[in-house]
């Protein structure tokens, strides 16, 4: 029997965990598979091992592991595979397949542009967008965020879009916002390339709240969240994960 395990990041902030569960549950209702479970890599329960145990106890003979991640980084390449390898030793008769993160998709750029529009603030000709990514030691993460930034600039026709990161990559968000304040832009739109709320989004909010002596209009946009396009993309990744070609 087919089972699906959605592996989300997890957060110390209960609101972030609730957002993830709500989004994934909405997708589960559109996936015609009898056994589906949600688990977390850290900071929330159940963990990956418990999620797999739950599916096996319900009769799953084939389990698709679906990473609820935007980009391919350490969690995708290292942490989740390590958990799956342990599960294979524990359940040698179970077939495991491994899906892909959402990745960089043109339709996600439409969401970012919509998040800017939702602020109801008219974008001036000299406005700047600061695209904020999570960051990772994996160099592909920086390449991906820079790719998103280029696409967003072409979509919005804003004169300048810079990228920055909340961890593990340069420039940091703190460096980027301070540098932006010194430039000739009357508006700075902060666009988080984050799926859900959480500690990282709170850190952006805190940094902005502490800005002083600035005549700039600094506007924080919403994260990607449970936008219908995001949920559609996750559903597609679920069905894609059933294929034997992605088996690990």
Decide: residue 19, CB within 10 A, 0-12 exposed, 13-18 middle, 19+ buried: buried
- Return per-residue pLDDT of the chain as tens, 248 residues: 999 999 999 998 989 999 999 999 999 999 999 999 999 999 899 999 999 999 999 999 999 999 999 998 889 999 999 999 999 999 999 999 999 999 999 999 999 999 999 999 999 999 999 999 999 988 999 999 999 999 999 999 999 999 999 998 999 999 999 999 999 899 999 999 999 999 989 999 999 998 866 677 999 999 999 999 999 999 999 999 998 544 44
Cα separation, 212 vs 159, in Å, equals 25
Cα(164)–Cα(211) distance, integer angstroms: 17
CA separation (Å) from 30 to 27, 97, 168, 199, 203?
A: 5, 20, 36, 30, 34
> What domains can be seen in the chain, in order of their start residue?
2-102+227-246 (3.40.50.1400), 106-220 (3.40.50.1400)
């Amino acid at each position: 029997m087919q089972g699906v395990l959605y592996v989300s990041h997890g957060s110390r902030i209960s609101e972030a965990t609730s957002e993830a569960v709500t989004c994934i549950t909405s997708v589960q209702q559109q996936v015609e598979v009898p056994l589906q479970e949600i688990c977390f890599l850290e900071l929330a329960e159940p963990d990956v091992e418990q999620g797999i145990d739950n599916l096996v106890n319900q009769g799953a003979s084939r389990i698709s592991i679906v990473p609820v991640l935007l980009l391919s980084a350490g969690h995708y390449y290292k942490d989740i595979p390590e958990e799956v390898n342990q599960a294979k030793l524990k359940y040698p008769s179970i077939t495991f397949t491994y899906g892909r993160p959402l990745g960089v998709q043109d339709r996600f750029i439409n969401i970012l542009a919509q998040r800017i529009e939702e602020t109801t603030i008219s974008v001036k000709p000299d406005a700047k967008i600061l695209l904020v990514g999570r960051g990772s030691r994996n160099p592909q993460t920086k390449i991906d965020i820079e790719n998103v930034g280029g696409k967003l600039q072409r979509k919005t026709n804003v004169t300048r879009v810079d990228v920055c990161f909340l961890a593990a990559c340069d420039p940091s968000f703190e460096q980027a916002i301070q540098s932006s304040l010194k430039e000739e832009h009357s508006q700075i739109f902060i666009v988080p390339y984050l799926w859900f709320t959480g500690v990282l989004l709170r850190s952006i909010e805190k940094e902005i709240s502490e800005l002083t002596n600035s005549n700039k209009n600094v506007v924080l946009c919403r994260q990607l969240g449970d936008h219908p396009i995001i949920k559609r993309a996750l559903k597609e990744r679920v069905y894609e994960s059933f294929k034997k070609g992605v088996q690990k």
